[in-house]
Amino acid sequence: MSFSSEVKEELSRQVSSARHCQIAEAAAIFRMCGQASADGKRLLLRIENPIVGKKFSVLLKRAFGIDLRRVGKEGSSLLLIEGKEAEGFLQTIKLLGEDGRPEDRKDFISSMVVQNSCCKQAFIRGAFLAGGSISNPQKSYHFEIVCDNEEKAKQLQSLIGAFDLEAKIVLRKRYYVLYIKEGNQIVDMLGIMGANVALMELENVRILREMRGSVNRKVNCETANINKTVSAAVEQMNDILYIRDNIGFDRLPEGLEEIALARLEQPEATLKELGDSLTPPVGKSGVNHRLRKLKELARSLRDNDEEESL
């Protein structure tokens, strides 16, 4: 079972005890998967995922006392509500106009249905169950809900924003996809929807990934420092050998001769180790200063050689 399916399985078992939240969640699933006839007396839902169909059935039974009917061939995903029950459902979720006909809304639902914070959470949960997915956190962080128009996506974005989460919207073919890619925000989203088991699983993955990332960054940093130290030491050795072969060490000041010999004897030593090997010991800055002087001298000698060869 995919991580997305595991999340939906967990959410399908989350049924609020408050009727207003049950109504909000049922409204979200209907607006994602259902359509009403022109007179509002027949509601048809196409719910491919049996987990979501079962959850919708439970919500209808508890909040409205309605027994959902499956239509079509055996195993069909079409679910039906008819007659007074259909009208009552539409009226409760504020989709029935004053003329007794379904409202032609572009967005999801009236704000009256999602006034309370708990109802917003239930609505988001229903929308995710019906049209959402979440990637395996072992591979990437990606949470999304697919909407059939921009107005629905923007209303859902606003509902999510009420919990200080920033969801973005992108047009994918003819659908508007609301998505979140930051791991910490996806964790918060799972908490909002009530998927606490999945939340803990994702958190564990995030902690491990961050630890690995931290270790890798430290290793890379150490490797870069080692490479930098080795490269610097090689340059210093080349400069010192050039000086020795051209003018010898006896013409160098005592401090420069001492550090030149120390470097030749200890090609892999750090500046601190070089300084400690001198008598008396010299600090890193002092060692660095002497090596810089040797570098300048070697450069000067090379420049002179080039001029003489012209």
Model pLDDT, residue 303: 80
pLDDT for 55-84, tens place per residue?
A: 999 999 999 998 888 776 655 578 888 899
pLDDT for 259-271, tens place per residue?
A: 888 888 888 888 8
Computed over every residue of the chain, the mean pLDDT equals 88
Work out the average pLDDT over 113-126: 96
Model pLDDT, residue 221: 80
- Whether pTM > 0.75 for this model: the answer is no
Amino acid in position 156: L
Model pLDDT, residue 75: 52
- Kindly state the helix (H) or strand (E) to which residue 178 belongs, with its residue range: strand 175-180
Choose among 43, 87, 91: nearest CA to 69.
43
Compute the Cα dihedral for 56, 59, 61, 63 and give only its sign: negative
Please answer whether residues 254 and 279 qualify as being in contact, where contact means their C-beta atoms are separated by less than 8 angstroms. no
pLDDT for 140-177, tens place per residue?
A: 899 999 999 999 999 999 999 999 999 999 999 899 99
